[in-house]
Amino acid sequence: MHDNDGTEAVNGRGKIVLHRVTKYFGTEKSEKAVVEDCSFIIEPGKLNVIIGPSGCGKSTLLNLMAGFDEADAGTITFDGVRIQGPSSDRLVVFQENALFDWMSAYENIVFGPHARGSRSGTMKTRAHSILERVGLSAFQDKYPSQLSGGMQRRVELARAVINDPAVMLLDEPFRGLDAMTKGLMQEYFLQLYAENPRTVVFVTTDIDEAILLADRLILLSNGPASLRKCINIDLPKPRTAALLYEEDRANDIKREALAMLYEEALKSFRKQKRSDDDFLSAYSGRTRRDTGA
């Protein structure tokens, strides 16, 4: 993400197209579809947020887009070329901290550009600029163990930005943070994105976070994951958390999305109940046989 107006991304770089994607896990006899016949488009230059019931297959889809895994059916293309493995054009920020413990915040941030042979002076200038934007200038020499969870997340975001990917793939990056820290991280993220607009795929289970961040909301069904609906989030920018309560349109979007998510959650609950009932029935039958009842 160079410090520019983001026209390259807006003009089309970073488009991901999923067409009838299916992914199975498990052995042949116990194979289970985690993603099934799933099709949607990640719009270039947009902040695309994926949301769905817990365990529905969101992270699996992200791994497929990253190239860490391969679909069993269907196709996934990146700017018209089929994805066949990881690429520096598609950078992932994981749920868990992936910082190098033996490196300072600054060293973690410049590691990627340094490994690719970037000019030291340019890299140093960009690193300090990004550190200032995320409020970590005073902590650049601290090691991850000396930073709070929120600070570690900011270092992760800064490291992603300086590597300048065409697409950033974020898998619930603020999960586990307390409410105040999470709110601050959302603000930092929106500031970075406004200054460096690029294609983003952001996975979350938090509906407020999804509406606050998204240009485009991608709602998934209960597992196996498939597209339920795409909603364009036409809320004014810059956005703050207050917008979620002050804008009628935000409340309308939230009601629509929650109704769908609730419906999908009910499907999951009913499916689990049937599994539990089948287990209890089988167990009860076995117990009667064992006791001769």
pLDDT of the chain, 293 residues: tens digit per residue: 333 333 344 445 799 999 999 999 877 667 889 999 999 999 999 999 999 888 888 999 999 999 999 999 999 999 999 999 999 899 998 877 788 999 999 999 988 888 777 777 778 888 888 888 888 899 999 999 999 888 998 898 888 888 889 999 999 988 888 888 888 889 888 988 888 889 999 999 999 999 999 999 999 998 899 999 999 999 988 888 888 888 899 999 999 999 988 888 787 666 665 545 554 555 455 555 554 55
Kindly write down the DSSP assignment for every residue of 76-133, as one continuous string: EEETTEE--S-BTTEEEE-SS----TTS-HHHHHHHHHHHTT--HHHHHHHHHHHHHH
Q: Does the model's pTM come out above 0.85?
A: no
Residue in 155, 171, 206 with CA at minimum distance from that of residue 66: 171
What are the phi and psi torsion angles at 278 (to 5°)?
-65, -40
Tokens 């600070």 found at: 151
Q: What's the pLDDT at 69?
A: 94
Query: From residue 7, how far is each of 4, 11, 46, 118, 203 by CA, in Å?
Result: 8, 6, 12, 23, 24
Q: Which of 209, 202, 119, 108 has the alpha carbon at shortest distance from 155?
A: 108
Taking alpha carbons only, the member of 254, 258, 237, 234 closest to residue 245 is 254
Cα separations in angstroms, 182 against 21, 53, 96, 106, 199: 32, 20, 15, 22, 22
Separation of alpha carbons 78 and 51, rounded Å? 21
What pLDDT sits at residue 261?
Answer: 86
pLDDT value for 88: 87
Beta strands in the chain (DSSP E): 16-25, 32-42, 47-51, 73-78, 81-82, 90-93, 167-171, 199-204, 216-220, 227-232
Cβ-contact 218, 40 below 8 angstroms: yes
Domains and CATH numbers, the chain: 7-89+197-291 (3.40.50.300)
What residue type is assigned to position 83 of the chain? I
- Note the pLDDT of residue 212: 94
Instruction: Report whether 221 contacts 227 (CB < 8 A).
Output: yes
In the chain, the amino acid numbered 227 is: L
